[in-house]
């Protein structure tokens, strides 16, 4: 990361705190590592992002419905899904520095460094060696590579590492008052399994016909070995997932369709398309027959924001095996090749899984601008969040020009009409210029000023965030003007 982008990213993080978007969790106790709270503006922005996703996925698709499954699930769920045995990262400690690392991450950092230094051959060789070791779950080989590369502590003591061991990422806790091994429950590490275990319930109660989808927004928990890059890698985070159930044999088609549709959804947020790219997984998880990530270029480089996975019938088959309940679907449609109905099968699944917190950060860094407004006469600048108006935490701010002459009452009267539909903020403190700057900093698209003329002719000044231009409009027109830009 260059010095300028590093600086900019640090500014975004402090801006997020200063303006009530993101706080470190339990900050008065010096914080809890990799856990964050969303403040008054952050929670509005986050809710708007959820609404945007929910509307696009559930409301706009007749064949997709939404659910809200519990975070706690029967422990067998995680046996069936493979998480109890396989959801782990290789971990290593440096005995000298007493620091803990993810073994693969250490090597990835080294690969990135070789690439940045133009040593592409070295990077490729290390990548191949690491891939082989990971694939074969050869933990001693991973350690060997780390020692060879003298990562993290390139001078003395670099060979003083512990062995590499697997570390399960699920948080566990006890259910009920009596401690007993049988009562161990997990905080879900993904929302997807809540959908799979409800597949039969939703299919039957909703009389869903294949192809159909089930969507869900909810918290997930992972005891990440190391936390990085602000809200990119958290121990408690939120996912927006959709599992789309299809006829076996059609999964490739649906996979391609969802891949394109999800990218379009991102681009509709008016963010620079050059910042997005697809990344194809070459090492597929045991349950997948295709997988792509949608990556976004953050100030610290490209990072996965969303995964689109073709999960075959793995999850439903596993739940059928472990629960003894038939996960089959009867497809009455006639197969033109056999002239017979397709009949009974376990559906295949295409998953789209996006991290809400990463989407939040993507939105924030894309919107953030330190704009130079200097003229020949004077130096000036502002920090503005150029958020899409639909996403802005506050849609409009209302300012009485002064605190007297009936202007506050008039301003509140206008606000009362608008607040039924929009999140509106009233501000009367400080000069108008300062109030504009405060609203720019949280991305409010409109500021409305009530002055003495308003009392005479019911017109107000509306000032637009992006252009800073102002115009006089009838107060009665405000609803239409705001509505035109902020409705979905
Ligand atoms: P990564 O490789 O970055 O750990 P992943 O491949 O494990 O991510 P998935 O299991 O596919 O991620 O989860 C889907 C989405 O959930 C990711 O694209 C990401 O946006 C989000 N996500 C996963 N882990 C975290 C985390 N620890 N903190 C915040 N978001 C996360």
- Rounded Cα–Cα distance for residues 289 and 319 (Å): 19
pLDDT tens digits, residue range 162-189?
A: 999 999 999 999 888 766 666 789 999 9
Write out the binding residues for ATP: 222-224, 232-237, 304-305, 355-358
90 lines ligand 1 (CB under 6 A): no
Q: Give the number of other CB atoms < 10 A from CB of residue 153.
A: 15
Which DSSP state fits 225? S
Q: Give the number of other CB atoms < 10 A from CB of residue 115.
A: 14
pLDDT tens digits, residue range 179-224?
A: 666 678 999 999 999 999 999 999 999 999 999 999 999 999 999 9
- Rounded Cα–Cα distance for residues 280 and 82 (Å): 23
Q: Please tell me the residue having the least CA distance from ligand 1 atom 23.
A: 355
User: Which CATH number does 394-486 carry?
Assistant: 3.40.50.800
- pLDDT, the chain, mean: 94
Cβ burial, residue 467 (10 Å; 0-12/13-18/19+): exposed
214 lines ligand 1 (CB under 6 A): no
- Give me ligand 1 centre to Cα 329, in Å: 30
Q: Please tell me the residue having the least CA distance from ligand 1 atom 3.
A: 304
Tally helices (H) and strands (E) across the chain.
16, 23
Q: Please tell me the residue having the least CA distance from ligand 1 atom 9.
A: 307
Write out the binding residues for substrate: 102, 190, 237-241, 351-355
Q: Give the number of other CB atoms < 10 A from CB of residue 94.
A: 20
331 lines ligand 1 (CB under 6 A): no
304 lines ligand 1 (CB under 6 A): yes
Write out the binding residues: 102, 190, 222-224, 232-241, 304-305, 351-358
Tokens representing 82 are: 């493979």
- Give me ligand 1 centre to Cα 304, in Å: 7
Q: Where in the chain is the domain with CATH 3.30.930.10?
A: 39-72+190-365
More confident residue, 69 or 284: 69
Which CA distances in Å does 10 have to 149, 229, 238, 300, 365? 30, 10, 23, 11, 11
360 lines ligand 1 (CB under 6 A): no
Q: What is the strand order of the sheet 276-280 is part of?
A: 64-67, 212-221, 236-246, 348-355, 301-312, 290-298, 276-280
Which DSSP state fits 282? S
CATH level 3 topology of 89-168 = Herpes Virus-1 (3.30.40)
pLDDT band at 154 (very low <50, low <70, confident <90, very high): low
pLDDT tens digits, residue range 70-117?
A: 999 999 999 999 999 989 999 999 888 888 889 998 898 889 889 889
pLDDT band at 334 (very low <50, low <70, confident <90, very high): very high
188 lines ligand 1 (CB under 6 A): no
Q: Please tell me the residue having the least CA distance from ligand 1 atom 20.
A: 355
Q: Residue 151's pLDDT is what?
A: 67
224 lines ligand 1 (CB under 6 A): yes
User: Which CATH number does 39-72+190-365 carry?
Assistant: 3.30.930.10
Q: Where in the chain is the domain with CATH 3.40.50.800?
A: 394-486
Q: Where in the chain is the domain with CATH 3.30.40.230?
A: 89-168
For residues 226 and 33, the answer to whether their CB atoms sit within 8 Å is: no
CA torsion 13→16→19→22, rounded to 10°? Answer: -130
Looking up tokens 């549709």 gives 261
Q: Is the pLDDT assigned to residue 156 strictly greater than 80?
A: no
For residues 246 and 254, the answer to whether their CB atoms sit within 8 Å is: yes
pLDDT tens digits, residue range 225-269?
A: 887 789 999 999 999 999 999 999 999 999 999 999 999 999 998
Looking up tokens 């095996």 gives 321
């Amino acid at each position: 990361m260059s010095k300028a982008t590093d600086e900019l990213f640090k500014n975004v993080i402090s801006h997020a705190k200063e303006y009530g978007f993101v706080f470190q969790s339990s900050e008065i106790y010096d914080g809890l590592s990799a856990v964050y709270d969303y403040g008054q503006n952050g929670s509005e922005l986050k809710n708007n992002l959820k609404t945007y996703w929910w509307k696009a996925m559930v409301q706009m698709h007749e064949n997709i419905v939404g659910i809200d499954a519990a975070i706690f699930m029967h422990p067998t769920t995680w046996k069936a899904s493979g998480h109890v045995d396989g959801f782990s990262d290789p971990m290593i400690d440096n005995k000298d520095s007493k620091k803990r690392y993810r073994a693969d991450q250490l090597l990835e950092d080294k690969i990135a460094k070789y690439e940045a230094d133009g040593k592409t051959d070295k990077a490729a060789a290390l990548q191949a060696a690491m891939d082989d070791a990971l694939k074969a779950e050869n933990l001693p080989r991973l350690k060997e590579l780390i020692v060879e590369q003298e990562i993290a502590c390139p001078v003395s003591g670099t060979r003083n590492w512990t062995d590499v061991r697997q570390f399960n990422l699920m948080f566990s806790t006890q259910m009920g008052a009596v401690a007993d091994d049988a009562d161990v429950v997990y905080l879900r590490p993904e929302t997807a399994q809540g959908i799979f275990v409800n597949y039969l319930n939703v299919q039957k109660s909703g009389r869903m016909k294949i192809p159909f989808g089930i969507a869900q927004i909810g918290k997930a928990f992972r005891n990440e070995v190391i936390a990085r890059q602000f809200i990119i890698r958290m121990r408690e985070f939120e996912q927006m997932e959709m599992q789309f159930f299809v006829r076996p044999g059609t999964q490739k088609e649906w996979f391609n369709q969802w891949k394109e549709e999800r990218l379009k959804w991102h681009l509709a947020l008016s963010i620079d398309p050059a910042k997005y790219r697809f990344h194809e997984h070459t090492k597929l998880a045991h349950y997948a027959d295709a997988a792509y990530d949608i990556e976004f270029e953050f100030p610290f480089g490209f990072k996965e924001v969303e995964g689109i996975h073709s999960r075959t019938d793995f999850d439903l088959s596993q739940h059928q095996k472990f629960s003894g309940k038939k996960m089959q679907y009867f497809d009455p449609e006639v197969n033109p090749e056999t002239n017979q109905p397709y009949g009974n099968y376990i559906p295949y699944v295409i998953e789209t899984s996006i991290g809400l917190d990463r989407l939040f950060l993507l939105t924030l860094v894309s919107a953030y601008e330190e704009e130079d407004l200097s003229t020949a006469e004077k130096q000036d600048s502002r920090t503005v969040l150029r958020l899409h108006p639909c996403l802005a935490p506050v849609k409009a701010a209302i300012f009485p020009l002064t605190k007297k002459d009936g202007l506050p009452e008039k301003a509140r009267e206008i606000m009362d009409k608008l607040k039924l539909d929009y999140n509106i903020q009233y501000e009367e403190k400080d000069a108008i210029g300062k109030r504009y700057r405060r609203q720019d900093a949280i991305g409010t698209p409109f500021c409305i000023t009530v002055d003495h003329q308003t009392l005479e002719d019911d017109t107000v000044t509306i000032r637009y965030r992006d252009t800073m231009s102002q115009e006089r409009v009838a107060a009665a027109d405000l609803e239409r003007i705001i509505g035109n830009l902020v409705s979905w």
